[in-house]
Structure 1
Amino acid sequence: MASYDKYVSDIIYQNKKMKGDLLMSKIKTCVSLYSLQDEYLNKRMSLEDIFKFLAENEVEGIEIIPDQMLHNTPHPSEETLAEWDRLVSTYKMKPVIADVFLNTNLYKNRELTKKECVDLLIEEIKLANRLGIKLIRLVSMVPAFVIEPLLSYAEKYNVTLALEIHAGLSFDVPKTQEFINEMKRLNSPYVGLVIDTGIFCRKLPRVMADYCKQHLGTKQEVIDYINNIFAQGKDPRKVILEHGGFPADLKKLLISEADHFFAHFSDGYENEPYSVLDEYIPYIKHFHFKLFEMTETGEEYSMDYKGILQYLYEKGYVGYVSTEYEGNRWVLPGHPMVEKEQVLAHQALIRNVIKELEGQEVY
């Protein structure tokens, strides 16, 4: 336990030492507060505790899901807004991006009309502006028809709208392509993309496999089958698409409900080449640097962040990359939640790689 405590304290020290140098970097780091959602949900940390924790560890920017942490979004009370202002001012945090959802199935008997969709997002644009945020992440599958009628509001309030390209819903999905085609047609600086690096998994997240095996009872043979797909440089989603469903030899292994759950869920991790982004670089406004598991070697288990950042550096990307920890959903019962430790380790990794790329000293 003592060695692990030293590991965490070393990370905190590194993060503080690197902050000043990174302020001049073209690639800047921030943290999605979604990464600390279990701390917040279970009241181990308040919103102020989260701000304080990130500020003490020299995090520059924050990403927030207003629905999650600002009551009554998109119409929070004046008291809530005043408290937000106080936290931003007190802890010197830069609000970078708001993650917004469009609940088109809000009602049981119908989907929202086009006008209702647009009206809801107008309110989100106004709120982002009030919070001092200039970028909204639209969740995957937001319909393309909202873009054009929202443009005048985006320009008025100086808030850019960016669709999230998420693993399992990537570039070849029809609704994603519809949005991209409309984005290109309108060619506005107020419309773009947020890239989630879950599309660059080189391995299946180990924490997901361990959870399914140890807690749900998924067979090791099923896990080995999926791991082997990644080892071949492919991903489960593409294999399933190629076969029009699960391959016959995989079907034979799927006996229990836990086996089926694991196999179905595994197609949410993609293994794309970085070059898939080449044509979209001019439209990319932000990155979600997905985090499932930081290892004690200081690397993320599933993704090669040195490779990702090398690609972005060579392409001249200017903007934020945001730690988004999702390993919290795979913590085994009875095991401690390690959101804070994982976030700090991931920030240290990202900052070190940026410093190496820019020829700065790595601590």
Structure 2
Amino acid sequence: MTSEIKRGVSLYSYQNETFQGKMTLEDCIRTSAELGAKGIEIIGEQTFWGWPECGVAQADVDTWHRLIKQYDCTPVSHDFMLDYKRYKGREMPFDEQVASVKNDVDFGARLGMKYIRALVSIAPEVLVAAAPYAEEKGIKILIEVHAPLHFDHPWIIRHAEAFEKSGSDALGFLPDMGMFLFAFPPVWKEKFLRIGVPKNIADYVEKAYEDRVLSEYVILNVQQMGGTGPAIAMAETLRHNAAFEPRRMLDYMHRIHNVHGKFYQMNEDYVEPSIPYDEIVKVLKQGGFNGYICSEYEGNRWIEDAEEPDSVEQVRRQQVMLARLLGETEVPTIQTSPTASAMAEAAA
């Protein structure tokens, strides 16, 4: 039985290829569409040059809408960055934070987005203050629940309480599946081995993560094993990642409208070895989620010192996995070379 959950892609997944000029915006949208991942999520700074400092030309917005229509896609989310702690050498005052969020609401509306993603660091009071404006624009502001935070973390509970007290339907959550890291990612371990972590220490950290050993004990033990530099850094990853419980999403499902399908690697058998997507999708179905799971590939940074990332193939594999878990019968395939436009331009 096919689920009502829909498949999408965060164009952040193609960051290597876009930065290197191998994929244009059209390549990114077309490739996603050919995979049946018709929901398109962006980070404004990546997709639109100059945002937010310099604004975006209407011609670029018109091109966006033309491509979305041409490939029969749906704008899903504009992920915005309000780094108010590092604003012009000072902390951004409350009113300026609210105004900044409203600016991103406007941009999301220009792009036809349903949602804008808020960083987890933003205080709930700022989002509550911006909510009435978002309602006017038909936009929902979703705070990203991202590891090491989770749905039982006091900061997230504070947001949930503020959202409910506000009574606004324009406030919600965007869970990042990286908080359900049930195993130490193999690509992480391989990278740490390449940069000098002794194998016995790498094996210990991997096993300690599997056994859910408290991170501070792991760091201390690695130090006592003679680990320095990269070995300590490997142990410290346990501070920022954990295997939280997917079922905790159920209590917040009425405010969950979009999902980041974080993944670090997809094997040839279409399995993400560190994140239990079968269990995650089961929980989302149980909760009646009918939004998009947007692929978010972040394994590139763990392999690019050793090989050229193939983000398109990685996204394709995850989309195959998601299609199967969602009960779809057709297997996602790519009909056009994702770098066709770039190569054609180079030849010209």
| TM-score normalised by L of structure 1 | 0.85
Q: Map of 1:106-255 to 2, 5 A cutoff? A: 106-214=86-194, 216-232=195-211, 234=212, 239-240=214-215, 246=218, 248-253=220-225, 255=227
Q: Is 2:322 the counterpart of 1:342?
A: no
Aligned to 2:338: none
Cα-Cα RMSD: 2.0
CA shift, 1:72, in A, is 2.3
More deviation, 99-108/36-45? 99-108
Matched position secondary structure for 1:185: helix
CA shift, 1:174, in A, is 4.0
CA shift, 1:225, in A, is 2.4
Q: Which amino acid aligns with 1:122?
A: K
Q: CA contact under 8 A between 2:151 and 2:249: conserved in structure 1?
A: no
Once the two structures are superposed, residues 296-329 of structure 1 have per-residue CA deviations (whole angstroms, 9 ceiling, x without a partner) of 1211111121111112112222211111100011
Once the two structures are superposed, residues 146-191 of structure 1 have per-residue CA deviations (whole angstroms, 9 ceiling, x without a partner) of 1222121111000001110101132354433332221122232211
Q: Within 1, Cα distance between the matches of 2:59 and 2:226?
A: 53
Q: Map of 1:48-59 to 2, 5 A cutoff? A: 48-59=26-37
Q: CA contact under 8 A between 1:207 and 1:331: conserved in structure 2?
A: yes
Matched position secondary structure for 1:105: helix
Q: Within 2, Cα distance between the matches of 1:254 and 1:45?
A: 44
Q: 1:64 aligns with which of 39, 42, 47?
A: 42
Change (3 A) 1:185 1:155: same
Q: Is 2:9 the counterpart of 1:37?
A: no
Q: CA contact under 8 A between 1:141 and 1:175: conserved in structure 2?
A: no
Change (3 A) 1:132 1:254: farther
Q: Is 2:235 the counterpart of 1:263?
A: yes
Task: Report the number of matched residues.
Answer: 329
Change (3 A) 1:222 1:171: farther
Change (3 A) 1:94 1:266: same
Q: Which amino acid aligns with 1:134?
A: K
Once the two structures are superposed, residues 61-101 of structure 1 have per-residue CA deviations (whole angstroms, 9 ceiling, x without a partner) of 11100111112224201121121122112222111111111
Q: Within 1, Cα distance between the matches of 2:120 and 2:109?
A: 22
Q: CA contact under 8 A between 1:126 and 1:157: conserved in structure 2?
A: yes
Q: Within 2, Cα distance between the matches of 1:194 and 1:254?
A: 40
The runs of 5 or more residues in structure 2 that have no matched partner are 332-348
Once the two structures are superposed, residues 94-116 of structure 1 have per-residue CA deviations (whole angstroms, 9 ceiling, x without a partner) of 11111111020343542000011
Q: 1:287 aligns with which of 259, 280, 294?
A: 259
Q: CA contact under 8 A between 2:177 and 2:262: conserved in structure 1?
A: yes
Aligned to 2:81: 101
Q: Is 2:268 the counterpart of 1:296?
A: yes
Q: Is 2:25 the counterpart of 1:82?
A: no
Matched position secondary structure for 1:63: strand
Matched position secondary structure for 2:259: strand
Aligned to 1:312: 284
Aligned to 1:3: none
Matched position secondary structure for 2:78: strand
Q: Is 2:234 the counterpart of 1:275?
A: no
Aligned to 2:71: 91
Task: State, as a whole percentage, how many aligned pairs show the same letter.
Answer: 27
Q: CA contact under 8 A between 2:266 and 2:314: conserved in structure 1?
A: yes
Aligned to 1:18: none
Q: Within 1, Cα distance between the matches of 2:287 and 2:259?
A: 14
Q: Within 2, Cα distance between the matches of 1:179 and 1:134?
A: 20
Matched position secondary structure for 1:96: strand
Q: Which amino acid aligns with 2:159?
A: F
Q: CA contact under 8 A between 1:221 and 1:253: conserved in structure 2?
A: no
More deviation, 159-168/142-151? 142-151
Change (3 A) 1:226 1:276: farther
